Amino acid sequence: MIKMTEYAKRRKKLMQQVGSNSVVILTSAPMAIRNNDAHFPYRQHSDLYYLTGFEEPEAVAVLIPKRKDGEFILFNRVRNHSEEIWNGIRAGQDGARKQFGADQAFPISELSKRLPDLLEGREEIHYALGNDKYFDKLILKALQRVRGKIRNGQQPPFAIIDITDSVHEMRLFKSPEEIALMRRSAEISAHAHVRAMQFCTPGIFEYQLEAELLHEFQSNGARYPAYTSIVGSGANSCILHYVNNDKIIKKGDIVLVDAGGEYQNYASDITRTFPASGRFSDEQRAIYDIVLEAQLTGIKAARPGVAWPAIQTAMVKIITQGLVEVGLLKGRVDHLIEKQAYLPFYMHKSGHWLGLDVHDVGRYKVSGKWRTLQPNMVFTIEPGIYISSDIPGVHKSWHNIGVRIEDDILITTKGNDVLSRDVPKTVAEIEDLMA
Ligand code: GLY
Ligand code: MN
Ligand code: MN
């Protein structure tokens, strides 16, 4: 668990960055309807969560550096006996102060009334304009109201600055407490992958493997998956974001499973690919070994000071070489790389930042230049080769082999640490596990 003192430290740091003539506004994620009056499970907006730990919907945090009556103001739902009987306990304003360390707390219904006073006298509003129409309107209206009182001596803010860049830069570098949670998240998901491999047998539906994954996530405290699990067999292994998961897994199919649990809101994101029957065919093994070599090369390249695209460059080289060796590409490797001849087989990037969001926030380029890897960044390395039947000139013995191998990597001072190391990865290890 992240301690309230860590959230307080984050708020301090953010307030120092924006400066004392500013006000920061962070809003909750909307609730989402699944059908009629049934909701999707609620998930707090990661930025608000990162700075408060507050998980209830209908909440707004206002941070006002050096404000006399307190710097951290939380607007949240009021306590309500009937609502709490039906839908669960609310922190209320007392809880906002006592449990979440707010200096002041007010009912969310008072936001539009109180906001103009909170903006008055500050020069900059730091707010992620454009993400939420409801809050955009409310905040712009509050700004209008302060502007309307300029002749009474009130000073309206004159700039609206996107807060996300500062918060996302902080979120990119994980604290020891966050790393511990991410390690646990990856560990749970690793065990889920092992469970799925052991359970797999031709004749079952893809969703039955999904059920095994979810069982392992949930029974270990990762209550929700970090994204919809991908379980693609045969031709479906070549569909990058396949989530139907409703086909029967057949003998001879390769099965691609991309799944990760979310533990205390921290994502993991792991892909393994294995043969339905437990034994790779010659073609499947050949492709698998290229992707594995690419991934291991990518992981080796990941260390402090290395520019982000270096991982992709290293992996593209191995993949292109491999495709030439098995005869799926013809020509000189350097020419093929230059022409991006690998794109029909490998059409995505090396990976992405990982954290509270599965595709986590943070810039990949700073001042127009690719950023270099630094300790405490966490990201995925996930090369793949996907041979769908519509790639021209490919013999059908190669068709419908989609392989991706994805791990979660923490950059350390010396190199890196593979957080998802607990899932077998070599052909021999996988065949042993499935035997
Ligand atoms: N599971 C989505 C991804 O690997 O990026
Ligand atoms: Mn990923
Ligand atoms: Mn993935």
Q: Of 170, 188, 214, which residue is a domain's last?
A: 170
Among protein residues, the one whose CA lies closest to atom 3 of ligand 1: 269
Ligand 3 center to residue 392 CA distance, Å? Answer: 27
Active site residues: 37, 241, 258, 269, 348, 352, 359, 382, 386, 404, 406
Given this model, what pLDDT does residue 154 score? 87
For residue 126, the enclosing domain spans 4-170
For residues 135 and 240, membership in a common domain is answered with no
* Residue-wise pLDDT tens digits, 170-216: 999 999 999 999 999 999 999 999 999 999 999 999 999 999 999 99
Residues with CB in 5 Å of ion ligand 3: 258, 269, 406
The SS3 assignment for 13 reads: helix
Q: Is 382 in the pocket of ligand 1 (CB under 6 A)?
A: yes
Q: Which atom of ligand 1 is nearest to the CA of 259?
A: 1
CATH number for the domain spanning 224: value is 3.90.230.10
Which residues have CB less than 5 Å away from ligand 2 (the ion)?
Answer: 269, 380
Q: Is 258 in the pocket of ligand 1 (CB under 6 A)?
A: yes
Domain check: are 244 and 146 in the same one?
no
Share of the chain above pLDDT 70, in %: 100
- Whether ligand 1 lies within 6 angstroms of the CB of 227 is answered as yes
- Closest atom of ligand 1 to 271 CA is 4
Question: Is there an atom of ligand 1 within 6 Å of 407 CB?
Answer: no
Does 145 share its domain with 181?
Answer: no
Instruction: Name the CA dihedral angle for 101, 104, 107, 109, rounded to a multiple of 10 degrees.
Output: -120
Helix axes 427-434, 176-199, angle to 10 degrees: 60
**Which residue intervals of 19-158 are DSSP H helices?**
46-52, 81-87, 92-98, 111-119, 133-147
Specify the DSSP element, H or E, that contains 245.
none
Distance 59 CA to ligand 2 centre (A): 30
User: Is residue 348 within 6 Å of ligand 1 at its C-beta?
Assistant: no
Which of 153, 170, 187 finishes a domain? 170
pTM of this prediction exceeds 0.95 = yes
Q: In what order do the strands lie in the sheet with 378-381?
A: 378-381, 407-411, 416-418
User: Residue 53 has what pLDDT?
Assistant: 98
| Predicted local confidence at residue 327, as pLDDT | 97
Band (pLDDT 50/70/90 cuts) for residue 373 is very high
Pairing mode, if any, of strands 369-370 and 266-267? unpaired
**Shared domain check, 193 and 79:** no
- In whole numbers, what is the pLDDT of the chain averaged over residues? 97
Which of 170, 204, 233 terminates a domain? The answer is: 170
Q: Are residues 100 and 226 in the same domain?
A: no
The total domain count for the chain is 2
Q: Is 269 in the pocket of ligand 1 (CB under 6 A)?
A: yes
Give the model's pLDDT for residue 424.
Answer: 97
Shared domain check, 136 and 195: no
Same domain, 136 and 183: no
Best of 231, 349, 382, 407 for a ligand 1 pocket test (most atoms within 8 Å of beta carbon): 382
Distance (angstroms) between ligand 1 centre and the Cα of 259 equals 8
Same-domain pairing of 270 and 157:
no
- Each residue of 303-318: pLDDT tens digit? 999 999 999 999 999 9
Based on the fold, state whether residues 242 and 140 are members of the same structural domain.
no
Predicted confidence (pLDDT) per residue in 247-303, tens digit: 999 999 999 999 999 999 999 999 999 999 999 999 999 999 999 999 999 999 999
User: CA-to-CA distance for 351 and 122, rounded, in angstroms?
Assistant: 40
Atom of ligand 1 at shortest range from CA of 230: 1
Are residues 145 and 251 both part of a single domain? no
Residues 165 and 263 in one domain: no
Same domain, 144 and 202: no
List the alpha helices (DSSP H) in 130-205: 133-147, 164-172, 176-199
Query: Tell me, what CATH number does 153's domain have?
Result: 3.40.350.10
